[in-house]
Amino acid sequence: MKQRRWIIAGAVAVATVAALNTVPAVASRPYDPTAQTLAALGQRHGLQVGTAVNMTALNDTSDPRYRALVSSEFSSVTAENVMKWESLEPTRGAYDWAAADQLVEFARRNKQSVRGHVLVWHSQLPAWLTSGVADGSISKQELRELLRKHITTVVNRYKGKIWQWDVVNEAVSDPWDSPPTLHYKGFWAQNLGPGYIADAFRWARAADPRALLFYNDYNIEAFGSGNPADDKSQFVYEMVKGLRAQGVPIDGVGSQGHLGTQYGNYDTLQVTAALKKFAGLGVATAFTEVDVRSEMTEAVQAGNSAEINPRLQASAANFSVLMKACLAVRSCLSYTVWGFSDRYSWVPDWFNDPPEGMATIYDENYQPKRAYHELKSDLIFAGPPYVLPRVAPKPRR
Ligand code: XIL
């Protein structure tokens, strides 16, 4: 709110200067980019800076900072959970739109774009669906029809209101899965075969001619061996290439960007090269779920700065690598963090052996961390000739 007032005061001051040719005190205040939000700084490059939104936190009136920061710092929002199938259709045939509608309306009021997440995923499916398939009461043929109806219903409800849809999420295995040769994994591939991917994009396109349709996955930030049998980025690359060759309406590849400071990770040029390689297929790219977790050793939990400092620095460096790579590639349309505060991050719940945390850009008390300031610096220091405004593809028909 305070920041808002400054902006209005600034606008009035500029108008006054123009009219009276006098210089009120406030107009002499030099432009300070560090006082701008991530959203405003991203705007200079046409880049949307987004966050996943936890609806419980958004509606928690005892914690107004959460809502204030979602509205002010970000130009794009993603539902962290409420657009997943288990949330939308907990009981067969009875859609509950309340929370998803609320987020879409919130974004409209705040002039934010919405990344729709997610239409087809093996996880967070309603129990009636998975148990129906398991006990044979839902046949394969019926399952395919249920998927078609789900995609059509959801995309149609938000037609014209979703900028990018994650149509298919995490369809590809990891080298640690069995068998280790990369393959199409999970519920949908097992039950329908990999043809469901092309079907899903076609059904989504039929329901919304304008949304950008994305394939979204993790561990595709950089290329490895170049062999699709063990290089997940290469597997996804071949998949997207194949879909494009068949005329499937896929417009983008979302790289989730879930990193951890305990791993080797990447430098900016490796990630830039990966984005460029995907862009070479004619698709947009985006970082869709960025967070950088760390192992929460006993020393970290006890507040030992010798263990905390390197984590904060490595986290900032990794957030920054993905941001700089995105800025360097004009088809990289958005950079979304998977929650912005450690107060609500999914990481401690999901990675607990060993415990991990510290994955976001604000601490639990909404103090911006080094990572937040580094993202800002990246947006401030970027410009031509290397960093140019974004170029979005036309939705493919
Ligand atoms: C996570 C949410 O953050 C958690 O709250 C939920 O319990 C599980 O799912 N990849 C995705 C996201 O595409 O949907 C996941 O979100 C994180 C991994």
CB 285 within 8 A of CB 279: yes
Asked if residue 291 has its Cβ within 6 Å of ligand 1, the reply is: no
The model's pTM: 0.93
Axis-axis angle for helices 370-381, 305-328 (nearest 10): 30
* pLDDT tens per residue, range 60-115: 999 999 999 999 999 999 999 999 999 999 999 999 999 999 999 999 999 999 99
Question: For residues 138 and 145, is the Cβ–Cβ distance under 8 A?
Answer: no
How far is it, in rounded angstroms, from Cα 69 to Cα 49?
12
Write down the pLDDT at residue 15: 42
* 375, pLDDT greater than 50: yes
Per-residue confidence at 25, pLDDT binned at 50, 70, 90?
low
Decide if 374 is catalytic.
no
Atom of ligand 1 nearest to the CA of 117: 14
pLDDT at 319: 99
Tell the burial category of 46 from Cβ atoms under 10 Å away from its Cβ (0-12, 13-18, 19+). middle
What the block records as the tokens of 18 is 């123009």
- Among candidate residues 159, 172, 173, the one with its CA nearest the CA of residue 213: 159
Which residue, 357, 272, 267, is CA-closest to 318? 267
Q: Which atom of ligand 1 is nearest to the CA of 54?
A: 5
Taking residues 260-277, report their average pLDDT.
98
Q: What is the pLDDT of residue 27?
A: 61
Ligand 1 contacts CB of residue 221 (under 6 A) = no
- Decide whether any atom of ligand 1 lies within 6 Å of the 81 Cβ: yes
Q: Write out pLDDT tens, residues 134-182.
A: 999 999 999 999 999 999 999 999 999 999 999 999 999 999 999 999 9
The dihedrals phi and psi of 303, each to the nearest 5 degrees, come to 90, 20
Ligand 1 near 289 CB (within 6 A) = yes
Rounded Cα distance, 212 and 166, in Å: 9
Tell me, in angstroms, the distance from the centre of ligand 1 to residue 364's CA.
19
Q: What is the mean pLDDT of the chain?
A: 94
Pocket test for ligand 1, best of 218, 289, 352, 356 (most atoms within 8 A of CB): 289
Annotated active-site residue 289? The verdict is: yes
- Indicate which residue of 73, 89, 170, 221 is catalytic: 170
Buried b or exposed e, range 28-41, using 16+ CB within 10 angstroms: eeeeeeeebbbbbb
HSE, side-chain direction, 13 A CA sphere, residue 79:
26
> For residue 22, how far is its CA from the centre of ligand 1 (angstroms)?
54
Q: What is the mean pLDDT of residues 275-297?
A: 98
Identify the helix (H) or strand (E) that includes residue 32: none
In this predicted model, what pLDDT tens digit does every residue of 180-225 receive, in sequence order?
999 999 999 999 999 999 999 999 999 999 999 999 999 999 999 9
Rounded distance from Cα 183 to ligand 1 centre (Å): 22
- Distance from C-alpha of 308 to C-alpha of 382, rounded to nearest angstrom: 29
Percent of the chain with pLDDT over 90: 92
